[in-house]
Amino acid sequence: MNKYRPHGVTPEQVENGQMRTFGNYMKNLALTEAELKGKSILDVGANSANFGDVAARFGASVVSVDASRPEGWQDVLEGESKKLFAVAAENLVLKDRLGLAQESQFDMVLSHYSTPYVLVNDGQDSTGRWKEQKSPEELVRYLYDHSFQSLENIFLHIKAGGKAVVYPLFLDLDSTEAVHVDFGNGEHRNVAQFNSIIHSVLNNLRSKYQDHFDLHLEKVPQAKEGYDLTRLVIMRRPMISNYER
């Protein structure tokens, strides 16, 4: 079993849902416990904030946001694991909800099995057909706009010297695009069209922000051969002081 187990946590605790989510984030986003300590983190598409609750125990200060609001959940505006519901990545403005004068930026911004992955996961039925009743052109525009806006907002919430990690995407680094992705339950989705949209989103973000950010894709091998996934890592360059110019 390749389960991530944080220091001082028993195997029984790993079985607990919160710990399991935390372990998946650490493994899939290639994070270390040491890098959580003292860091500010924004988790985009955090659901009920399982990751943030545990990361706060490891010394991080986390703001978790989600487009929906799990039934009965209220925002949590105090402490080291804050939670804001009904905040979509495409319209990511935190300052008003957090009562701040300026928009916050974070050491790390994370998106785990959320945006833009959910556009495929939620947008297609189990046979891989798009549920949206749109013309092919409208569908491409919709997927492009939602991916661009959410990834741009992720960018803009990274502090100088910080990073964002987005997982999973389906882009294959070997240029043999992984066009069929195993979504579990025997579902094999064709993500070729989505991949080409993500390629153009990343190219356009690269040229728009080339002085500030470095983007790269890392292959994340999966147990089943031929279905590797991809992690997008965005590094925001540190500010250059006047002395170094």
Q: Which residues bind ligand SAM (CB under 6 A)?
A: 21, 44-47, 66-68, 88-90, 112-115, 118, 150
Q: Which CB atom, from 118 or from 179, has the smaller least distance to ligand SAM?
A: 118
Kindly state the smallest distance separating residue 172's Cβ from ligand SAM, in Å: 22
CB of 69 to ligand SAM, least distance (A): 9
H or E element at residue 121: helix 117-121
**Smallest separation, CB 86 to ligand SAM (Å):** 9
Rounded to whole angstroms, how far apart are CA atoms 235 and 107? 10
Separation CA 3–CA 155 (nearest Å): 30
Q: Which residue number, 132 or 214, has a Cβ lying nearer to ligand SAM?
A: 132
Least distance between ligand SAM and beta carbon 57 (Å) = 17
Of all helices (H) and strands (E), which one includes residue 107? strand 106-112
Residue nearest to ligand SAM (CB): 45
Residues 6 or more apart whose CB falls under 8 angstroms from that of 18 comprise: 50, 53, 54
Nearest distance from residue 235's CB to ligand SAM, in Å? 21
Q: Which residues of 119-150 are buried (b: 16+ CB within 10 A; e: fewer)?
A: bbeebbeeeeebeeeeeeeebbebbeebbbbb
Residue closer to ligand SAM, measured from CB, 88 or 139:
88
| Closer by beta carbon to ligand SAM, 61 or else 64 | 64
Q: Give the nearer residue to ligand SAM in terms of CB position, either 87 or 171.
A: 87
**What is the 8-class DSSP label of residue 83?**
E
